[in-house]
Copies of this chain bind each other. A is one copy, B any other.
């Protein structure tokens, strides 16, 4: 949790409600021609107006220079030191699709890939096959029997799947099979220490059976595995903050992250409008809501500056609806920047605002990177925004005499 051992002495439950809207990949960088970032370019009157009545700043997701994955980026926003609390890729993928992973089980992420006649990888995503194409392949892989270990295969999305190893003595102390670039064959799985030997052997047996199962299903004629991992031991967010937290996210990975920290994951349809319906229908039942908005990140990862601008403008149109719910504390944060000019998660600080009855008079004119840099909050570590939220929600008393 937050590295603040005094928290439990000063935090208490109240009726006030906190809404944390996470705009995935919110932060950006200036377009080389206009020298204006995606947020500066977008027409976002509602976000601008909100910023004028909020305390604004820039969050550092992990540390300067560190571009976080979705796991660390979100854990920080929830108040967990992302360097201390690590989540394996496999666990995140499995939890994200609702697989019931238990203590002592190992999860790993799989990709279908394409290999040539020499077993060299020619496409690490098997031509990005669709979920419809991948599901029957996953079912076939799921039929493979390996002595002494139960291996289950779950389709995730497109070319991605999750694989869960169950049985006595299964270990995550084994190596990945993805060589990380084209032209090389998938690597054999190796144990890091003796404790992983049996699991590594079982994984290799599974892979050679899988090769036979997939041999006729070009371009998905092989698979690679990354991120063997077990459940992390994360403190419960509700207990530590005296909150009854809920998560609303259309994408599986974010639901998985929220469940790991103990949030109740509310069922929701696949669009942000579905998420909003879920929020409205459950607003009375919880005092903390994590609401996830994905499109800005997706456009940024595609390197599509204009699409990211449009995704932010679309987000802007939902702000009045969110404010109508009258949360006592309304935060807009990003788990990381995804500048279209870099087309990837980056290390840049991310615009942040917190709105409460205590922020009147602290605003900035517009909501973007440059204005937030001059805001009342300045730069802050993302891991501290939950403390700010609790303070603004009047859920904290004075620390120390």
Contact = CB atoms under 8 A, between A and B. Distances in A.
Interface of A: 2, 4-6, 10, 29-32, 35-37, 58, 62-73, 82-83, 86-89, 92-93, 109, 227, 341-342, 344-347, 349, 358, 360-362, 369-370, 373-374, 376-381, 384-392, 396-401
Query: Which of the listed residues A10, A30, A377, A400 has the most CB atoms from chain B within 10 Å of its own CB?
Result: A400
Copies in the complex: 2
B64 A380 contact: yes
A345 B360 CA distance: 18
A347 B376 CA distance: 12
A64 B399 CA distance: 12
B391 A378 contact: no
A276 to B, nearest CB: 28
Contacts of A64: 377, 380-381, 384-385, 387-388, 391
6 contacts: A35-B361, A64-B381, A65-B392, A65-B396, A66-B399, A71-B401
Contacts of A341: 358
Contacts of A345: 398
Given A66-B387, A69-B398, A342-B358, 14 more contacts: A6-B66, A65-B384, A67-B391, A67-B398, A67-B399, A68-B399, A69-B401, A71-B401, A73-B400, A82-B399, A87-B401, A341-B358, A346-B391, A378-B378
